[in-house]
Structure 1
Amino acid sequence: MQQKPLVILDRDGVINEDSEHYIKSAEEWQPIEHSLGAIAKLNANDIKVAVATNQSGMARGYFDLATLQAMHKKMATLLKEQDGKIDYLEYCPHGPDEGCGCRKPRPGMLESILHYFNLPAEQAYFVGDSYKDIQAARAIGCTPILVLSGKGRGTLNQHPELEKQIKIFQTLNHFVNELLANATA
Structure 2
Amino acid sequence: MLWTLSAGLLGALIGSFANVVVYRLPRGASVVWPGSHCPHCGRALGALELVPVVSWALLSGRCRGCRGAVSARYPLVELLMALGFAGLAARYPPERYGLTALPLLALFALLVILSLIDLDTHTLPDALTLPALAVALVGSFAYAPGSGLPDPRGALLGSVLGAGGLALLNRLGRSGWTR
- TM-score normalised to structure 1 length: 0.24
Q: Which has the larger share of helix?
A: 2
Q: Which protein has the larger Cα radius of gyration, Structure 1 or Structure 2? A: 2
Alignment TM-score, normalising by the size of structure 2? 0.25
